[in-house]
Amino acid sequence: MLPQHFDLLKGLVNPNYVEQGAQARNSRSKHFTALFIQRRLPDVGWKEDDIQALLDEMASFDTNNFEGNVGVGEREGRVISDLVRRRHFGLTHGIGRSGDVMAEQPKAAGSSLLVQLTRYLALDAIRLAGIKAAKACAVLPAATGLTMTLVFLALRQMRPEGKYVVWSRIDQKSCFKAIGAAGLKPIVVELKPIEGTDALGTDLEGMRSAIEQVGADEVLCICTTTSTFAPRVPDFIDEVAVMAQELQVPHVINNAYGLQCSKCAHLVETGCRRGRVDAFVQSTDKNFMVPVGGAIVAAPSAALVDKVSGLYPGRASMSPVLDLFITLLSLGAPGWTGLLQERKENAKWFEERLGTVSSKLGLRVLKVPANRISFCIDLSPLGRSTDGAEDMDHLTFLGSALFTRRVSGPRVVLCTPKPGAATLDVETPADTIKVKGKYQKVIDGTPFECYGAHTNFYPCCYLTAACAIGASRKEMDAFLERLEAAVQDYKNGAGRKEKSGIAKPALGS
């Protein structure tokens, strides 16, 4: 209602009641005013009714919601199912235009407004997480892997001679396939053991050598990763950034779920300050607990972000942007920073509890101090039967045993403990690749030994588990209980039966 409507109502009911209603309406309007002026996360998370009211207001700006609107185009925001229309709050035009996914739509002023507000809120959330060097971002309706591909394609337009991506190995398919999807050639740089730990880290010398091998001018970019499965640790982002600046090679960071971790955020921030970081990409679902389908590309300057936005062909789905907008408003700054602190405290607690349970089972937690999200347990003792024989293949039973106990997320990784990997020159034809070893995989023509372990050989097989944002201590306690039960079953012979049906000797504790 407009302000004059309240004056008119005073002739119908007690003016005091009308005044109270007007004050309540003004309180909500103040939230809207603060958001439009400050363009950052609210100091207090909004109530659902306030968010709904704002969405209704913005949807009223879109032509499909105009009373009496006549649409004679091929795309008019029509939705035949009322349930679907309500699910999208009437914001049915999507985002962007044919030339830019972040551009304003004449038919959808409200949707365009929501897109821009979400960019401001996301940028504020990134800065509150610790990456204050971020100056621009775009929320894209594509998950992390495809968003990485879009970044590579945008870079290719800016650096047409570049055809190689120097990639610090991480055994996660989507970030590797993102390179091939962009029509680029990966140069895989293997990791190095970090002395005094069980961890695997960045081979800076190997990266420099790879760039020098093909020539810096032909390298599109260096691609590093922050968030990763242990025993890999975040890449040495700051040192890579310095090298990238020195060699004048772009640097793109896969920060998939690193925004929730202060250590990962600090590495990105330091890299932006000390050297060269062209863009970093983070998942909306992994960091903000929304449905899968969105990612945020951010950077210390707007040039590459704008290039990525302009590269996206056609309009795009509003859903990932809308989900993030609602979530950030409901959290507010205290809710977001509170979740970050809670995860950090839970990770420390979980690591201690995991160590206690592992010790009880005759196992140990691998020493990977620089990874504060993912943790892993050495399973090698379970692969040795009482007769001294080794059979690591059966360790995968633990993964299935946990899944049947309704535990999702852990991974059992089988490794070869000694060298024997295939080598690959950057010009080797894919159909001539020969891969040695027991746990090998070929992805987009590139061979990997011990795939899943981030290295061609690792001294032990292990199980990983993560303490991610939103996970409760109750959940993690339940996991530890079920892990203990699964391991005890395995020790008693479960999953280790021969074809004859006779169980192998039970394992010692």
Q: How many CA within 13 A on the CB side of residue 462?
A: 29
Contact between residue 484 and residue 492 where contact means Cβ atoms under 8 Å apart: no
CA distance 97 to 315: 5
- Predicted confidence at residue 379, as pLDDT, reads 95
Which of 154, 153, 181, 177 is closest to 167 using CA atoms? 177
Give residue 120's identity as a one-letter amino acid code. Y
The 3-state DSSP class for residue 354 equals helix
Q: How many CA within 13 A on the CB side of residue 24?
A: 11
Q: Name the pTM for this structure.
A: 0.91
CA distance 163 to 212: 14
Neighbours of 420 (CB within 10 A): 13
- Residue-level length of the chain: 509
For the chain, 509 residues long, the average pLDDT of each consecutive 10-residue run is 73 77 78 95 96 94 88 86 94 86 89 96 98 98 96 97 97 94 97 97 98 97 96 98 98 98 98 98 98 97 95 90 98 98 98 97 97 96 68 87 94 80 42 55 89 92 96 97 94 66 47
Burial code (b: 16+ CB inside 10 Å, e: under 16) for 389-416 equals eeebebbebbbebbeeeebeebbbbbbb
Helix axes 144-158, 173-181, angle to 10 degrees: 30
What secondary structure does DSSP assign to 394-458, as a single string?
GGHHHHHHHHHTT--S-EEE---SS-------TT--GGG----SSS-EEETTEEESSTTTTSS--
The 3-state DSSP class for residue 55 equals helix
The CA-atom distances, in angstroms, between 47 and each of 22, 42, 57, 306 are 18, 11, 16, 33
What secondary structure does DSSP assign to 193-254, as a single string?
EPTTSS-EE--HHHHHHHHHHH-GGGEEEEEEESS--TTB----HHHHHHHHHHHT--EEEE
CA distance 256 to 144: 6
What is the SS3 assignment for 106-163?
A: CCEHHHHHHHHHHHHHHHHHHHHHCCCCCCEEEEECCCHHHHHHHHHHHHHHHCCCCC
User: According to CATH, what is the number of the domain 336-491?
Assistant: 3.90.1150.10
| CATH domain 109-333 topology | Aspartate Aminotransferase; domain 2 (3.40.640)
- Predicted confidence at residue 438, as pLDDT, reads 67
Q: Given the structure tokens 């360790």, which residue do they identify?
A: 395
Would you list the domain boundaries of the chain? 1-35, 109-333, 336-491
